[in-house]
Amino acid sequence: MKTFVSRFLTGLIAAVLLAACTSGPHIDRSLSTPDQRSRVKYLVLHYTVTDTPQSIRIFTHQAGVEASIHYLLSNDPEPVIYGIVDERRAAYHAGSDSGWKQDRNLNNISIGIEIVNAGWVDGPTGRTWAPFPEKQIETLIPLIKDIMSRHHIAPENVVGHADVAPQRKQDPGALFPWKRLAAEGIVPWPDETVVAVKRIEYQTSLPDIAWFQRKLSDIGYVVPRDGKVSQETRNVLIAFQTRYRPSKIDGEPDAETAALLDSPMRLVVPMKKN
């Protein structure tokens, strides 16, 4: 009997110790300090290039693919926001080769939103982009504002996947309504009055490619600074044009692109609705 009791007590003590080890130490979290901030600096917007069911499968069932996202926004008649990765954790959405301003590998310091959208197809008349339903954008805007507010994300740090990975990505595409987001006070936008004036100036005398590279870099794009018209530089110009001049995306350093780059980026204060 004593042997049984002894073994029982030994097992019980071992179980208690094991539970204590696996649960971790008790931490008193009643203290805090105002001297802290979120680790999140960027919000990156994507499109899925597939439908909602397939998007859900990709971001929840493909283990080891390193494709994950914090939020997935469906394109249903009543769009649904799926929270997939906790904001406190990194998701594999931007890519290890992503960059904006001085930062690289934005996975660790960004939140990603995937928007269900078919992307683009190339046809006889050129590239055709899939539109974003109005309801989807109406659902997206409050989500963006909420994330920005909680993490104190600067408007210039709300970017597209193409902005931070211009050598390999095009999303969220030419029909994504960046100007609508600007009207909501989410992102800055070039002063169109200044753009109109400068466009005329640059039609007479166009800056060299080194100037374009410097201006793109000043905004935040990772771009060569070698003064050469390379495909890498053209890809960055395409990303910029897709966002600010989607009517003509050709990667050419032309007068209108120069005017857009040389215009001050202003943040609109949206009017309050009655």
Q: Which CATH superfamily is domain 42-187 in?
A: Peptidoglycan recognition protein-like (3.40.80.10)
Tokens of 92: 């594999």
Q: Do domains 42-187 and 190-266 have the same CATH topology?
A: no
pLDDT digits (tens, 9 = 90+) for 180-192: 999 999 999 999 9
CB 73 within 8 A of CB 84: no
Helix (H, G, I), strand (E, B) or coil at 272: coil
Amino acid found at 92: Y
How confident is the model at residue 9, as a pLDDT? 46
Class in CATH terms, 190-266: mainly alpha
Residue 268, pLDDT > 90, answer no
pLDDT at residue 5 in the model: 41
Q: Which residues are catalytic?
A: 114
For tokens 């009207």, name the residue: 183
User: In sequence order, which residues have a C-beta less than 8 Å from that of residue 126 and are 6 or more positions away?
Assistant: none
| DSSP state letter for 27 | -
State yes or no: pLDDT of 133 exceeds 70. Answer: yes
- Percentage of the chain lying above the pLDDT 70 cut: 89
Helix or strand or coil: residue 147?
helix
Could you read off the pLDDT of 142-160 as tens digits, one per residue? 999 999 999 999 999 999 9
The tokens for 153 are 């994300």
Q: What is the mean pLDDT of the chain?
A: 91
Give this prediction's pTM.
0.88
Q: Is 271 helix (H, G, I), strand (E, B) or coil?
A: coil
Give the chain's length: 274
C-alpha torsion angle, residues 16, 18, 22, 25 (rounded to 10)? 60
Angle (CA) 117 118 122, round 5°: 140
Q: Please provide residue 103's backbone torsions phi and psi, each rounded to the nearest 5 degrees.
A: -95, 150
Alpha-carbon dihedral of residues 226, 227, 229, 233, nearest 10 degrees? 60
| CA dihedral sign of residues 252, 262, 165, 134 | negative
Determine the Cα–Cα distance for residues 51 and 55; give it in Å rounded to an integer. Answer: 6
* Domains of the chain, residue spans: 42-187, 190-266
